[in-house]
């Protein structure tokens, strides 16, 4: 019997103050509620992102809702 073992990786997904976003390989980008990428990400999002980023690493992980390596 053969067992396949592997790793699937993607950007980590976070939700903070009503904004869902991915943060990983290409930097932060806001997402729609269905998880698809928004076409544009503006100053309002980056202000909220900076507030989230200023939290400690452990505190930021509390807002993680998916993504990463499995």
Across 42-47, average pLDDT: 95
* pLDDT for the residue 5: 75
Residue showing tokens 């053969």: 2
* pLDDT for the residue 69: 81
58 half-sphere exposure, CB direction, 13 A CA radius: 0
pLDDT confidence bin for 58, thresholds 50/70/90: very high
Q: What is the pTM of this model?
A: 0.83
The answer on pLDDT for 3 being more than 90 is no
The answer on pLDDT for 1 being more than 70 is no
Q: Which of 60, 9, 49, 58 is nearest to 27 (CA)?
A: 49
Q: pLDDT for 16-26, tens place per residue? A: 999 999 998 88
């Amino acid at each position: 019997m053969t067992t396949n073992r592997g790793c699937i990786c993607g950007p980590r997904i976070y939700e903070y103050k009503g904004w869902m976003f991915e943060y990983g390989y290409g930097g932060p980008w806001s997402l729609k509620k269905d998880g698809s990428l928004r076409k544009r990400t503006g100053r309002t999002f980056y202000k909220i992102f900076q507030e989230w980023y200023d939290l400690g690493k452990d505190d930021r992980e509390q807002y993680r809702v998916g993504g990463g390596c499995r």
